[in-house]
Amino acid sequence: MQVTEYNVEEIIEGIRQNDVVRLDYVYKKFYPQIKFFVTSNSGDEDDAQDIFQEAIVIIFNKLKQNQLQISCTFKTYLYSVCRLLWLKQLEKRKIKNELSIEKNDYIELTDKTEELGDRTERFGLYQEYFKKLSEDCRKVLEMSLEKIPYKKIAVIMGYKSDKYAKKRKYQCKEKLINSIKSDPKFKELL
């Protein structure tokens, strides 16, 4: 039996309508990546389930308020929401732990949390400039991140060859990197 694939609009509409089939699809398709991220970053499976559920609720609420704007794949958007939620959760845990840990442990935990905060800011900067890229560039970079072969990217994007798809990815990546590096906030995050 072949599993139905849904595009961003269909997923969003499924969440809006509380469609069990599409919500189940979202869970089966995207939860494993979120679980891996959370469990690889000081969390357990219960934490991953909580974060995933909270992200879906946030998306649902944004839909109800007509505030949801997605300029990337649903997978990328959901991962970003879950990642930010988990980083906030780690920050809350750090504050609770500060009262009960020794000074040396505190310094170590603070360093790790500051590093996570820096990563979050860098990711925010990346997202800001990623959204400013042309739709063509965003699609090419997203497909590349999803490990789609250049031949398939060329077909999807209507390019004449996989070599051009590779060249286009390089051009878009360079444009993104240069935009980020030219931002004054970038130097502060180094």
The one-character DSSP state at 68 is -
Structure tokens, 75:
């997978």
The dihedral sign for the CA sequence 145, 57, 96, 38: negative
19 to 12, 13, 33, 74, 76: CA distances (angstroms): 10, 8, 22, 16, 21
Residue 101 backbone class (left: φ over 0; alpha: ψ -120 to 50; beta: rest): beta
Amino acid symbol at 137: C
Q: How many other C-beta atoms can be found within 10 angstroms of the C-beta atom of residue 110?
A: 12
Q: Tell me if the pTM is above 0.75.
A: no
Structure tokens, 111:
């360093």
The rounded radius of gyration (Å) of the Cα atoms in the chain is 19
- Between 25-39, 75-89, 115-129, the lowest mean confidence (pLDDT) is in 115-129
Cα–Cα distance measured from residue 153 to residue 159, given in angstroms and rounded to the nearest whole number: 8
- In which band, very low, low, confident or very high, does the pLDDT at 97 lie, cut at 50, 70 and 90? low
Cα–Cα distance measured from residue 19 to residue 26, given in angstroms and rounded to the nearest whole number: 11
pLDDT at 149 over 60: yes
Mean pLDDT of the 54-72 span: 82
Q: What is the pLDDT of residues 175-188, one digit of tens each?
A: 888 888 888 876 66
Domains and CATH numbers, the chain: 1-100 (1.10.1740.10)
Q: In this predicted model, which residue has the larger pLDDT, 179 or 71? A: 179
